[in-house]
Amino acid sequence: MMRRFCLVLALVLGAWACAAAEGWDDIYAARLNAQATWLEAKLALRTAEVAYDQYMKPYLPIVSIATSTSTALGIDGGGFTGGALIPSVTLANLFGADLSFKAPLTAVSTGGIDLGNPSLSLTRKLFVETEADRLDAEAGVLTARAAIRNSENAVRIALATDILNAMYYQRLLEANRGNLGAFEKMRKAAQDKTLLRALDRRLLEARKSMLIASNALADVDDDVKKNADSLYEDVLRLQTEWTNSVEAEAPTSSLTVHALELSLKAAERRAGFSILPYLPNPSLTASLAYDMDTNAIEWGLSFSIAFDAIDKGQHALSALKRREYPGIFRIKLKDAKSSLVDSIRKTNEKLASLELDRKIQELNIADAEDEMNIMEKLYSGGFTSEENLVITRIDLSIEKLLAQKIDYDILIQRLNLANYYNVDE
User: Do 343 and 420 contact (CB within 8 A), yes or no?
Assistant: yes
- The angle formed by the CA atoms of residues 374, 377 and 382, to the nearest 5 degrees, is 125
pLDDT tens per residue, range 303-361: 888 777 777 888 889 999 999 999 999 999 999 999 999 999 999 999 999 999 999 99
The dihedral over CA atoms of 390, 395, 398, 400, expressed in degrees to the nearest 10, equals: -100
Looking at per-residue pLDDT, the higher value among 378 and 387 belongs to 378
Q: Helix, strand or coil for residue 122?
A: strand
pLDDT(36) > 60: yes
pLDDT(38) > 90: yes
The number of beta carbons lying within 10 Å of the beta carbon of residue 255 is 20
pLDDT(13) > 50: no
**Structural element, H or E, at residue 373:** helix 314-380
pLDDT tens per residue, range 185-205: 888 887 788 888 988 998 999
Q: Which region among 6-20, 200-214, 282-296, 328-342 has the lowest average model confidence (pLDDT)? A: 6-20
Structural domains of the chain, ranges and CATH numbers in brackets: 23-58+126-421 (1.20.1600.10)
Looking at per-residue pLDDT, the higher value among 258 and 94 belongs to 258
- How many angstroms separate the CA atoms of 349 and 365, rounded? 24
Quickly list H helices, 190-300: 193-218, 222-225, 228-243, 255-271
Q: What is the pTM of this model?
A: 0.81
Per-residue model confidence (pLDDT) at position 19: 38
The number of beta carbons lying within 10 Å of the beta carbon of residue 115 is 10
Q: Helix, strand or coil for residue 112?
A: coil
What phi and psi, each to the nearest 5 degrees, are found at residue 271? -65, -30
- How many angstroms separate the CA atoms of 182 and 392, rounded? 12
Share of the chain above pLDDT 90, in %: 51
Please state, in angstroms and as integers, the Cα–Cα distance from residue 184 to each residue in 27, 59, 60, 212, following that order: 40, 81, 79, 20
